[in-house]
Amino acid sequence: MPHQGNTPAVSAAFPLPVFSECEARIDALPPLAVPRSSALLSELPDRRLFLKMLAFPCAAACVMALARDSIAVPVRAWAAVEEDDSRFRVEARFYEKLPGKMVRCKLCPRECVVEDRNRGYCRVRENRSGTYYTLVHSRVVAAHVDPIEKKPFFHFLPGKQAFSVATAGCNVNCKFCQNWEISQARPEDLPARYLPPKDLATLAKDNQCAAVAFTYSEPTIFNEYVTDAAESARDSGLKTIVVTNGFIQQAPLKRTCQRVDAIKIDLKAYSQDYYRDVVRGQLQPILDNLITVRKQGKWLEIVYLTVPTLNDRDGEIRDMSRWIKTELGPDVPVHFTRFMPLYLLKNLPPTPVPTLERLKAVADAEGLQYVYIGNVPGHPAENTYCPKCHNLVIERAGFTIKQMNLHKGKCSKCQHPIPGVWS
């Protein structure tokens, strides 16, 4: 996800410690003023406060993350004190029961085999006497009103706001993760608020948002909450968007596609070696799922976080661009975003802007029509241009829309259709 961010003021009454040594890991952009019509939203810590609060607990969590395997981790090895999680505990939708009170998770391609009283790789799903549960349904650890462009979505409701939420957990462990303090933590490590689907939709509407976004950590691991909340959002006249790594099995993905409106997938690289060494995941399921999302008719955008020396080779980008054009079509927006050194990958510099420009030129040359550069505010490649007449269709400055030359989904100059969800 983007390395830019903006955060509203946080309630000074939130009774948690603050650690200044985490400040260097946080991007500092001007705060976004948003309406706060609910005391619940004002009590929810924003991302900046979370990073500060969790500096020490999550250092331990990172050590645990590095030691995890893809089968299961005993619950009792994590914490001496067990909290009442009954409000957040819902039976998982995608798993199978095995002999001896064991289960096999069928949510993501890891297919963790989990013994009784153990959890899967993501650490938010637990086997209790042969029944598999998610522990994070409605267990919101971060909530924020964001511009749609921050996700980033450039062809979906431009200029609108999204009520963005996350739970703890993730099913990969990217070495560059911006939000590792929540993605690599256990649910019980983080302060959370109970925010059931109908209340989430109400908060989004109260804050004049056009959509609900599931983001920050990894929506795959709180899939039950995503789909339930998406149904409530739709009933309330809201759209829903998912910002994901795409590491999910086909059945839950298709169920999600039936309920949400847009999906942004982080294609981390076009290399299995990179996925193995840097992401701790797999490439092929991501490619398969990109095709599935497209076939399901959901709006799709792709982000490629460009990490210097690791996934910035012209040949790799050329092959990836050809695959996108052939399998998904030339009109899927692709965002080459700038890497910032974070988490376990601080030995590399930020991505040079000329590198991003070079890779964009490669993708352009292969026939992709909507290629963007991200995390470089003010760069001309933030804008949308008509692929037919090259007229400026949408001018952006960071997350702000400066002008739109779009009429009923078409270029206002030549009437060429510009694909997207515009209203």
Note down the domain range covering 272: 139-411
Is 402 a member of any domain?
Answer: yes
* Structure tokens given for 237: 């006249």
Domain count, the chain: 2
Give the start-end residues of each E strand in 123-208.
125-128, 131-134, 139-140, 142-147, 161-166, 193-194
At 34, list the tokens. 């948003």
Is the domain of 117 the same as that of 181? no
d(CA 206, CA 227) in angstroms, rounded, equals: 21
| Distance in angstroms (rounded) separating the CA atoms of residues 45 and 26 | 15
* Mean of pLDDT values over 346-369: 98
Is 30 buried (19+), middle (13-18) or exposed (0-12) by CB count in 10 A?
Answer: exposed
Question: Residue 244: left (phi > 0), alpha (psi -120 to 50), or beta?
Answer: beta
Percent of the chain residues past pLDDT 70, beyond the cut:
80
At residue 182, the 3 state secondary structure works out as helix
Domain boundary among 134, 153, 184: 134
Q: State residue 84's pLDDT score.
A: 76
Written as one letter, the residue type at 20 is S
Please give the helix or strand (H or E) that residue 81 lies within, else none.
none
Q: Which of 80, 103, 134 is where one domain is finished? A: 134
Do 89 and 169 reside in the same domain of the chain?
Answer: no
Cβ proximity of 106 and 95 under 8 Å: yes
Domain-located, residue 32: no
15 occurs within a structural domain: no
Other CB atoms within 10 Å distance of the CB of residue 380: 12
In this structure, is residue 19 part of a structural domain? no
Quick one: tokens of 357?
């420009």
Residue 28 lies in a domain: no
Residue 83 confidence class, pLDDT cut points 50, 70, 90: low
Q: What's the whole-number mean pLDDT along residues 139-167?
A: 98
Give me the mean pLDDT over the 181-186 stretch. 97
Task: Specify whether 248 is located in the same domain as 102.
Answer: no
What pLDDT, in 10s, does the model give residues 90-99?
999 999 999 9
- Specify whether 233 is located in the same domain as 349: yes
Same domain flag for 90 and 144: no
In which residue are the tokens 């981790």 written?
Answer: 73
Say whether both 125 and 211 belong to one domain. no
* ∠ Cα 272 179 70 (to 5°): 45
**What does each C-alpha distance from 370 to 55, 303, 331, 351, 397 come to in angstroms?**
39, 12, 6, 21, 17
pTM confidence score: 0.84
* Whether residue 107 sits in one domain with residue 225: no
Max distance between CA atoms of the chain, in angstroms, equals 67
Q: Mean of the per-residue pLDDT values for the chain?
A: 85
Q: 125 and 177 in one domain?
A: no
Give yes or no: residues 114 and 165 share one domain.
no
| 257 vs 77, higher pLDDT | 257
Asked, for residue 10, whether it belongs to a domain, the answer is: no
pLDDT band at 85 (very low <50, low <70, confident <90, very high): confident
Distance CA 105, CA 111 (A): 5
Q: What is the pLDDT of residues 259-314, one digit of tens each?
A: 999 999 999 999 999 999 999 999 999 999 999 999 999 999 999 999 999 999 99
In-domain check, residue 72 = yes
Of the candidates 83, 106, 134, which is a domain's last residue?
134
Do 203 and 155 belong to one domain?
yes
The two structure tokens encoding residue 57? 């607990």
Which pLDDT score, from 0 to 100, does residue 44 have? 52
DSSP state letters, 123-140? SSEEEETTEEEES-TTEE
| Residues 147, 129 share a domain | no
* 418, part of any domain: no
**Judgement on whether residues 210 and 88 belong to the same structural domain of the protein:** no
Check which CATH number belongs to the domain holding 277 and give it: 3.20.20.70
pLDDT band at 210 (very low <50, low <70, confident <90, very high): very high
Residues 285/247, Cβ–Cβ less than 8 Å: yes
Model pLDDT, residue 281:
98
